[in-house]
Structure 1
Amino acid sequence: MIGSIRLGRARARRIKETGSWGMRWDAFAGSGFHVVLHGRGWLITADDPPRALGQGDVVLAPSGARHGLSHVPRALDDLPPGDMSGKPQPDGHADFEFLCGAYHLEHGQVHEYLLSLPDFIVASPDDGDPELASLVDLLIADLSQAGPGTEATRSALLDLLLVHVLRGWLRTHPGPDWPLVRDPAVVAALRHIHREPHRPWTVSQLSAVVGMSRTAFTRHFTGRMGKPPRVYLTGVRLSQGARLLRETDAPLAVIARQIGYSTEFAFGTAFRREYGISPGRFRDGARTAPVVRNDRHGQSGSTTTTSGFTVR
C-alpha cells in the first residue's frame, strides 16, 4: 500500500491562519494528512458533524475524500478552496497553525486497503504514540530547510506518519475492513511475487511452489486478496515499473526486463492499460511535476494548486 501511494509526489507546506478563516479541499486521488501545530479549529466533512481539533491532532484522509477546515463549524460548501500556491506565510503569532501536504496520484488508483478505511481518521496526542510527535517534529524541521535529498526525506517522513496513524487506528478498530492474510499458501505466494516479480510466473508455478493444486490455490488466493493471482502479479510488476520510471533513468527495455516483461512493447501495452498513459509520458510528467520549495521565511509551499493533505 505504501508503495502504491509513493507513485504520487509528496507535497507539504506550513500554513498560518488568524481571525475568521476556512478552507476546503475537493476530492482527489491520493492520501492526505492534517497535523495541528497550534490553536484550535474544526474538521468539516460532507456527511459527519464538525469535529473539534486541537494541538497535536493528526487528521488522515486515506483516500482523499472532500473536506475542509475552519475556525468555527460551517457548511463544507461555504468554505473557499484551500490555497496551496506556496505564497510566503506571515511571521509571528497566528491563531491556528498547521502543516498541509499530499500524495497526489496523477495516474493509477488509490489502493484497495485505503478505500476500505473510513474517509477520515483522527489521531490524538493522548493516544499514546510518542513516536508520532517525534515524526511531526522531524517533518517541521524538514520543511524549514531545502537541500539535497529533500524530496526523498519528505516522502519517507510522510510514509512513517501514515504508518503510525494507521497502526494507532488499528489498535482500537480491529474490525473486518481488511482481512489479515493468515493462509500459509497465500502468504508464501505473496513472498515469491514481491521478492521476484521479474520471474515468468504462471499460476501453475505459483501453486506448485506453495504445494497446492492450481484450482485450490486460485480459489484461496482470490478469496483472501480480492483478485486472482495473475491480476495481483501484474499490479505488483507495474507498480514497481512506475517507481523505476519515476526514480531512475534506466531505459524502458531495461525496466521491462527487471519487472518480468520480455519486451519494451509488452511493458508499454500493460502500463497504458493500467495507468492510462505510456511509460515515456509518465516519466516525463514525473520530471516536470512541481516540487515543494521553501520560501525565505522557512515555510514550505508547493507550486501546485491541487488538493492536498494537511499535517497540523
Structure 2
Amino acid sequence: MDVLSDTMAALRTGRPYSAFAERRGRWRTDIGPYAGAGFHIVLRGTCRLIPREGGGPVELAAGDAVFLPHGTAHALAGESPAPTVLLCGAFRLDRSRAHPMLGDFPEVIHLPARPGRNSALNATITLFGDELQAPGPGTDAALPALLELLLVYLMRAWYEERTARRTTTGWCGALADPAVGAALRALHAEPSKPWTVAGLAARAGLSRAAFARRFTALVGRPPLTYLTWWRLTLAARILRESDAPLAAVAQRIGYTSQFAFAHAFKRAYGISAGRYRQERHDDHEHLGAWEMTTITAGPAAL
C-alpha cells in the first residue's frame, strides 16, 4: 500500500480550484488564511510571495512553484512592465483531524525550477498551463485530473528533497524506515484487520518493545493509537464520499458493531457520524472566502 497516496486521499475533501492570471506593472494581492492548501506557479515572468507572519519574501521566477500546505495568509506582488503569468489554486483539506504528516510541512515550500529536477511536476505544470490558456474539448475533465496530479507531485517533490538531505525525523523518517514503514503499509493495506502490537512488530522484524518505541518516536503516537486514528479518518472519508450505511462503514474499518463505531466516531469528532456526513455534504455547496477572492475572481483578483 502506498501510504503517502492513501494519506493524501483521506485528507482531501471537496473540489480543488484553479485559476489562470496575468498581471503587469506594479501590483499586489493579499490572500487571507485558507482551511486547506494553496499553491502558486509562475508560468512566465517574476514575482514575490510575502508571508503574512514570519519569514522573508520568496522570490519566484518562471517555472517556480510555491506550496502552502497550511493555507497560510500571504501576499503576491510584482513590479515589471513585462507580464507575469500565474497558475493559482487550492485544495480543500479536512483539518478536523489533521494527519501528523502535515506537521512536518513548513508554512511555505518553495520548489524552484531546476533542470533535471522534479520532471513529473514540471510536465504537469506545462500541461495545466496549456489547458488553461487554450481550453479545448475535454478540458473540463482534464483540469480536475491535472489538479490531483499536481498535489501528488508537489508533495512528492518535497518528500524527495527531504529524503535526499537524509532527513530522518517525522513522517519522512517513518516512511523511509524499513521497520516502521513496513508496519504503516500493513495498517493502511488492511485497516480492518484485528492488529496487535506483537503482530505489527513481527511484520517489522523487531521485538514488541523495540518496535513500539521506534514507531512512537517516528510517527508521534503508539501503533494502536495510530490505528484507531487512521480507522476513524478513513471512516470520515467514506462518509464524505459515499452514502454507505453506517453499519457497512463500521465493518469496513474494523469495528465489530455499528454502536461501537458510532461511539468512537462521536468521541473523536464531537458529532455523530450521520451529522458529520450531512454537514460535509452541505459544505461542498459553498465556496470559502479564499476560493471566492482568489479563484472565482480569476485574473482580476491578481
TM-score between both structures, scaled by the size of structure 2: 0.77
Q: Deviations over 1:111-163 (max 9, x none)?
A: 33332233212122225333222101333355547777568525522333323
Structure 1, 256-265 or 175-184: larger mean CA deviation: 175-184
Counterpart residue number, 1:132: 121
Q: Does 1:100 align with 2:100?
A: no
Question: Partner of 2:18 in structure 1?
Answer: 12
CA deviation after TM superposition for structure 1 residue 258, in Å: 0.5
Q: Which amino acid aligns with 2:162?
A: L
Deviation string 1:37-57 (CA, Å, 9 cap, x unpaired) is 222211101322323222211
Task: Decide whether aligned partners of structure 1 residues 186 and 116 sit closer, same or farther in structure 2, where only a CA change above 3 A counts.
Answer: closer
Query: Cα 1:102–1:277, aligned 2, differ >3 Å: closer, same or farther?
Result: farther
The answer to whether the 8 Å contact 1:107/1:275 transfers is no
Deviates more, 1:188-197 or 1:12-21: 12-21
RMSD: 3.4
Shift of 1:103: 1.9
Q: Give 1:94 deviation, angstroms.
A: 8.4
Give yes or no for the alignment of 1:115 onto 2:103: yes
Are 1:55 and 2:62 an aligned pair?
yes
Instruction: Write the letter of the residue equivalent to 1:246.
Output: R
Q: 1:172 offset after TM fit, Å? A: 5.8
**Structure 1 residues 28 and 305: alpha-carbon distance in aligned structure 2, compared to 1, 3 A threshold:** closer
Matches for 1:1-312 after TM superposition, within 5 Å = 1-7=7-13, 9-45=15-51, 46-72=53-79, 95-129=83-117, 130-140=119-129, 144=135, 153-167=145-159, 169-170=161-162, 173-178=165-170, 179-181=172-174, 184-207=178-201, 210=204, 212-290=206-284, 303-306=287-290
C-alpha distance after superposition, 1:238-290 (max 9, x if no partner) = 22222222332322211110011122332233333334443333333443444
Of Structure 1 and Structure 2, which has the larger fraction of its residues in helix?
2
Residue by residue over 1:97-116, the C-alpha shift from the partner in whole angstroms, topping out at 9 and shown as x without a partner, is 21222222254244333322
The percentage of aligned residue pairs carrying the same residue is 36
Stretch deviating more after TM superposition (2-11 or 129-138): 2-11
Name the CA shift for 1:183/1:58 in 2 (closer, same or farther; >3 Å): closer
Task: Report which structure shows greater RCO (CA 8 Å, sep ≥6).
Answer: 1
Gaps of 5+ in 2: 1-6, 296-301
Q: What's the secondary structure of 1:15's corresponding residue?
A: strand
Contact in 2 for aligned 1:4/1:110 (Cα 8 Å)? no
Which residue in 1 is equivalent to 2:298? none
